């Protein structure tokens, strides 16, 4: 319990410090490509009715909340970092939609919402431990979308600097990876499926997302650039959307995004 509080405190501090810079990365070619791919995949799963209640858990600066609210959905945005939430509030206020969003500070592993409160729950943070709690607050028949750390993609990236850790990760059933000192559980596509199915969620699809520009050997200079050729952007996003669904490629990405339906 004490360890958990320390982990939360350290996570909160890190995101508070990063808050004002978080959205900047999405203005680069790399960030814009990943945002486009995330959103294209998400669009296919959004509820038909605009009366649907959506939870954007660990939603940070509202990268996804803002477009959802503009589309007319009723959204609750929660996060542990007040710094990230303050940036979100500022953006929502500027867009004139702050009053349409419930913004609250809360831990995704200990949500303050009643069972079956939301028609759609997304948590794009990589915290596998939160799955059960996120499923609890999803209505029966509702959908859930969760980012998880990809075990094989992480091992591939780690191998050149630390072969022993990379091997330990692929050998173990419950391997962890460190991202900026924070510990995340890493899962394979099959383990991601198991995680949801044992909690009564039918997995609709698991996509491979994030970190694929390195696999395509896109030079760092282009990845970091803030202006780009639109034709190239379209080509890159088209191939990434195809690869995200391709079973033979799914092990390579940094993250997996699971879409499921609570039965
Ligand atoms: C990579 S950012 C993602 C933000 C947003 N989901 C997006 O896709 O742009 C991770 C976010 O998770 C939040 N976070 C980390 N641990 C959390 C926890 N236990 N409960 C709630 N939020 C958490 C961080 O504060 C940060 O805002």
Tell me the percentage of the chain whose pLDDT exceeds 90: 90
Residue in 125, 134, 210, 211 to alter for ligand 1 test, most ligand atoms within 8 A of Cβ: 125
- In this predicted structure, the answer to whether residue 180 has a pLDDT above a threshold of 70 is no
Q: What is the helix (H) or strand (E) element at residue 215, kind and residue range?
A: helix 212-215
Q: How many residues does the chain have?
A: 263
Q: Are strands 176-179 and 138-150 parallel, antiparallel or unpaired?
A: unpaired
**Residue 90 to residue 13: CA distance in whole angstroms:** 20
Q: Provide the pLDDT for residue 172.
A: 86
pLDDT band at 176 (very low <50, low <70, confident <90, very high): confident
The Cα 89–Cα 105 span in angstroms is 12
76 near 53, Cβ under 8 Å? yes
Average pLDDT, the chain: 95
CB distance 101 to 21 below 8 Å: no
Query: Ligand 1: distance of its center to the CA of 175 in Å?
Result: 21
Yes or no: say if 134 and 144 are a contact pair by the CB < 8 Å rule.
yes
Pocket test for ligand 1, best of 60, 104, 147, 179 (most atoms within 8 A of CB): 60
pLDDT band at residue 177, thresholds of 50, 70 and 90? Answer: confident
Question: Could you read off the pLDDT of 151-160 as tens digits, one per residue?
Answer: 999 999 999 9
Measured in Å, residue 79 CA sits from the centre of ligand 1 at 6
Chain position carrying tokens 């195809």: 242
Joined together, the tokens standing for residue 26 give: 């999405």
Give 218-249 pLDDT, tens digit per residue. Answer: 999 999 999 999 999 999 999 999 999 999 99
Residue 128 three-state SS: helix
Q: What are the φ and ψ backbone dihedral angles of 55, each rounded to 5 degrees?
A: -105, 125
The token pair at 184 is 């995340």
pLDDT of 197 > 90? The answer is yes
**pLDDT tens digits along 46-98:** 999 999 999 999 999 999 999 999 999 999 999 999 999 999 999 999 999 99
What is the CA(106)–ligand 1 centre distance, in A?
10
């Amino acid at each position: 319990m004490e360890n958990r509080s320390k982990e939360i405190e350290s996570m909160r501090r890190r995101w508070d410090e990063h808050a004002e810079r978080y959205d900047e990365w999405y203005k680069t070619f790399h960030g814009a490509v990943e945002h486009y791919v995330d959103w294209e995949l998400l669009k296919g799963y959004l509820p038909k009715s605009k009366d649907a209640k959506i939870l954007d858990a660990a939603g940070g600066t509202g990268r996804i909340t803002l477009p959802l609210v503009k589309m007319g959905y009723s959204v609750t945005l929660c996060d542990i970092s007040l710094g990230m939430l303050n940036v979100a509030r500022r953006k929502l206020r500027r867009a004139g939609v702050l009053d349409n969003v419930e913004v609250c500070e809360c831990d995704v592993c200990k949500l303050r919402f009643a069972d079956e409160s939301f028609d759609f729950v997304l948590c794009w943070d990589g915290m596998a431990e939160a799955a059960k709690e996120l499923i609890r607050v999803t209505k029966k028949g509702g959908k859930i979308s969760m980012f998880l750390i990809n075990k094989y993609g992480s091992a591939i990236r780690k191998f050149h600097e630390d072969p022993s850790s990379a091997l330990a990760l692929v050998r173990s059933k419950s391997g962890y990876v460190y991202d900026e000192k924070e510990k995340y559980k890493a899962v394979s596509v099959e383990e991601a499926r198991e995680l949801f199915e044992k909690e009564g969620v039918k997995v609709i699809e698991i996509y491979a997302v994030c970190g694929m520009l390195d696999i395509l050997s896109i030079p760092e200079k282009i990845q970091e650039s803030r202006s780009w050729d639109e034709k190239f952007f379209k080509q890159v996003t088209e191939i990434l959307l195809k690869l995200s669904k391709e079973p033979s490629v799914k092990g390579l990405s940094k993250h997996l995004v699971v879409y499921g339906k609570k039965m």
